[in-house]
Structures are given as structure tokens and as C-alpha cells.
Amino acid sequence: MKIEQIYTGCLAEAAYYIESNGEVAIVDPLREVAPYIEKAKANNANVKYVLETHFHADFVSGHLDLAKKTGATIVYGPTAEPNFEAHVAKDGEELKVGNITIKVLHTPGHTMESSTFLLIDENGNDHALFTGDTLFIGDVGRPDLAVKTDLSREDLAGHLFDSLRDKIMPLGNDVLVYPGHGAGSACGKNMSKETFDTLGNQKLFNYALKADLSKEDFIKQVTDGLVEPPQYFPKNAVMNKMGYASIDEVLKNGILPLEPIQFQDVVNRNEALILDTRPSKDFLKSHIPGSLWIGIDDNFAPWAGALIPDLTQPIVFVADQGREEEVVTRLARVGYDNTLGFLEGGIEAWNKADFDTNSIHSIGANDFVGLYDTEVLNVLDVRKASEYYSQHVEGVVNFPLDFIHKNLGQLDSNKKYYIHCQGGYRSVIAASILKANGFKNLVNVEGGFKEIQKSCVKVTEYKEPETML
């Protein structure tokens, strides 16, 4: 028996490869399925099942392509109604994978079709539980991401409480818990950086599994501090339920080199968004007017999902040479399938073609502090509200990047704004959005609050961060 966790840091997502005696089950695969197929082939094994814990909201799963390419059966738990061929298992139904058994446990709450998969080893012992978004390490899934339900988040939280106590907590303490996400995912509030644990430890340290926790208190704790989920979440859930284009087709259309004049023509004809994925220093120095910057070397896909409102938006992009497929793949992971090509030769080719460029001024934290101590500045702290209220520079305004499009009207495009985040990534995204919307006098603060607070600038008293999403 072999169990391998395949963790993707950008999405804080875990897929699983389970193999026994030449047969394989994949749990919650990512959009690009070649790695799973190649792994099975290298082990002389065949993919028999694609196990989906629920209709995911934060990424587009690879279940359809994986099933089509391997002949595997897609499996959901009870009440799921997928718009494609799949096996909707009964609660307690057992699936054979080589010499092991996988038992389907219906655990509604995060969503109503949510299910967990209990792996029973060759000796008949409960070995591991693949919990999806029902149970995380240190947390549980938020109960407000279900697709089209008449139930309130409090109703769903109540179902989740019952699922945990009726289906999961009775299992043995030595059962391994393999969740669908870790710290950094927006699918929970207080996830650990650890990506697996024993159920016994979780009974001791996970607030949601405390034996003396009442249902009423559980519902309150699970629903407190929830804010509106990223706008792409319900759209991804619908894609996972209804179906989507093959990743092969998306890559074919997206990895298309465009010379500068072709690039400009595609933008004009399709009203395409220009997405710049290069390092921030390169973007700040020189970029195509109107570009949105989201750097590929950080939380690229989640921020693309949060900030590009339409999944069908035509996109062309600028990337460092050799990273074009990575950009298209990571966009597709969160449902952006309408990528139409990239700028061949990059910004250097754009300059040689004598097209216009823009830049954004950037200063170090020490220079910012020197100005802040002597002048009245308009400063935007674009971190999450929970980060801001935990500690911030005295007198600055919180303007969370998550809701920047909704709140743009609160700013004056004639004013000069200094922008910072925690480490310098989100501030450049915010600056690119403001620049594209006609704000001409912007200053990015390099290193963000992390560097600013090393100086003697006045900051508020530190408070333990609230659990907010």
C-alpha cells in the first residue's frame, strides 16, 4: 500500500495518490492530470477511481480529464448531482482498490454532498481518513460555500457538527487525518501549517472536536468572523459540478506566442486583459499601460481569482521566458480558460516595437518612514482587515486588496498615495490596479509593514490577530 500527499503551496491544496496491488485511487486531483497518470504508469499501476470529496470552490479539479484519459470512475458521496457520468456512492459503501478498501462516509456540513473517504488496510484496520474540507488540521471547513442551497450557514454548521460527532470522532485515535487544505487556504479560518495528523491529536487540539463543545457554541465559533468569500469560489464550484474544457485545449490556446503588434491587436479585438506576471521590480520599472500585475512567484492563482471578476475574460500575458505554460496552467486551476497568448520577446520586444510603457515609483521602507515623520502622507495599508487591526502604522488607512474594485470610489485619483502591504507583493498588485484606473501619483513601499516596523515609526499596540477571512 502506498499513500502520497501531493501538496500545492500556491493553493494550499492537497491531492492524494493511493495505490495497492496495481490499482490507484486519486483524491481531489488538480486541473493538470499528467503527473498522476505518469506516477501510476511508473509504478505499473492503473487509475481505478477519482474520489471527489465535494464540489470544490477554490480550484477546478481534474476529475473529468483524469477519468477520460484513464478510464477511471469518478466517485462522489450521497446527494451529489454532477452534470456528467459519475458514481454517486451510498453512505457506508465500500470500494476495492487492490488489497485495500475505501469506505465512503457522508459528512455534510461544509457542503451537503461533502464526504470523507476512510482507507481500510489489507488487514482490515482503519488506517487513514481523507477529509477534504470537512476536517482540517486545527480547523473545519467554512459552512458558506455550498452551491445553490436554501440552507443558511448556521444550518450547514449544524450538519457539520453532527457529521464530525457521528462519523469521524468515533474512529480510532491512531487513524491518520489527510485534509484537503493547509494554512493559507480561504476554505477555513485557523488551519495549521501541518498537512496531516492523527485523529487522536486533533481530538485534543482542534477546537471543533472538543468533547464538551455544545452544538450551539460550535455553530457560533465556525460562523464567527466569516467575510464574503473570494468572488471566484461559487464559479469554480459550478464548473466542478457542471463540467469544463479539457486542460489540453486550454494550454493549446493559451501558449501562443504573439509579436507586439499581434499582441496589441488581440487586446483591441477581444477587449483582453493584459496580465503581467514578471518579478515586481521589472513591472515597476516598465510595463504595458493598463496591465494588471500579479507575480507568478507568490499566491498567483488565488489573487487572480479574487481580482479578475469574469472567468471568461480574455487574457493575454507577459511572462519571463520559459514560464508561459506555468502561467496558463495556474490560471486554469482557478477557472480562467480564455487565455489567448503571451508577448513573445517580453517587454524588450515591446520597447523595440516603439510601443508606450508606464512605470510606478517605488521607495524603501526607511525612505518612507523619513517622509512619514516629516510630511502628511496619504497611506493605504492594503492588508486584510484582521492584519491591520492586529497592528498598523498610526494614522494610515486600511484599504484591503480583496475589495479594491468595490472601494475604488472612496479614493481621489488626483491625490498622491503611498501603498504598503505586509511584505511587498500585494502593494504592487494594488498599485497596478490603481494605475490602470487613472491614478497617476502612486508610490509603492518596498518590503511593506514587515520592514516599516523595524524603524522607529509609531505603530499601534499589537493585538492577537482575529480569525477572519
Confidence of residue 456 (pLDDT cuts 50, 70, 90): confident
Among 73-87, 151-165, 223-237, name the one with the lowest average pLDDT.
Answer: 223-237
Question: Could you tell me if residue 302 is inside a domain?
Answer: yes
Q: Which amino acid is at 281?
A: K
Helix axes 324-333, 247-254, angle to 10 degrees: 140
Q: Look at residue 469 in the predicted model and tell me its pLDDT.
A: 47
Out of 188, 203, 231, a domain closes at: 231
Region 77-103: what's the mean pLDDT?
98
State the average pLDDT for the chain: 95
Q: Tell me: do 167 and 133 sit in the same domain.
A: yes
Region 53-61: what's the mean pLDDT?
97
Residue showing cell 488540521 = 137
Task: Give the residue among 186, 161, 168 at the shortest CA–CA distance from 109.
Answer: 161
Region 147-173: what's the mean pLDDT?
94
Q: Tell me: do 171 and 89 sit in the same domain.
A: yes
CATH number for the domain including 394?
3.40.250.10
Collapsing DSSP states into helix, strand and coil, what is residue 63? helix
Burial environment of residue 15 by CB neighbours within 10 A (0 to 12, 13 to 18, 19 or more): buried
pLDDT digits (tens, 9 = 90+) for 113-123: 999 999 999 99
- Count of domains observed in the chain: 3
CA distances for 406 relative to 231, 309, 398, 400, 401, angstroms: 12, 11, 14, 10, 10
Among 188-197, 359-368, 371-380, 402-411, name the one with the lowest average pLDDT.
Answer: 188-197
Q: Tell me: do 216 and 313 sit in the same domain.
A: no
- Kindly state the percentage of the chain with pLDDT values over 70: 99
- Kindly state the percentage of the chain with pLDDT values over 90: 91
pLDDT digits (tens, 9 = 90+) for 310-357: 999 999 999 999 999 999 999 999 999 999 999 999 999 999 999 999
Q: Tell me: do 15 and 155 sit in the same domain.
A: yes
With beta carbons less than 8 A apart as the criterion, state whether 419 and 275 touch: no
With beta carbons less than 8 A apart as the criterion, state whether 296 and 319 touch: yes
With beta carbons less than 8 A apart as the criterion, state whether 388 and 398 touch: yes
Q: Tell me: do 345 and 423 sit in the same domain.
A: no
pLDDT at 4 over 80: yes
Instruction: Copy the grid coordinates of residue 245.
Output: 474544457
With beta carbons less than 8 A apart as the criterion, state whether 202 and 194 touch: no
Region 403-430: what's the mean pLDDT?
97
pLDDT digits (tens, 9 = 90+) for 253-279: 999 999 999 999 999 999 999 999 999
Q: pTM score, two decimals?
A: 0.94
CATH number for the domain including 17?
3.60.15.10
Residue showing cell 498615495 = 417
Question: Could you tell me if residue 156 is inside a domain?
Answer: yes
| CA–CA dist 43, 28 (Å, integer) | 20
- To the nearest 10°, report the CA torsion of 54, 60, 61, 65: 140
Q: Look at residue 468 in the predicted model and tell me its pLDDT.
A: 46
Residue 358 DSSP class? B
Q: Tell me: do 273 and 182 sit in the same domain.
A: no
Q: Look at residue 147 in the predicted model and tell me its pLDDT.
A: 77
SS3 content of the chain, % helix, strand, coil (to 5): 35, 20, 45
Q: Which domain holds residue 410?
A: 361-452
pLDDT digits (tens, 9 = 90+) for 283-310: 999 999 999 999 999 999 999 999 999 9
Q: Tell me: do 156 and 26 sit in the same domain.
A: yes
Q: Tell me: do 392 and 418 sit in the same domain.
A: yes
Region 97-114: what's the mean pLDDT?
98
Q: Tell me: do 84 and 218 sit in the same domain.
A: yes
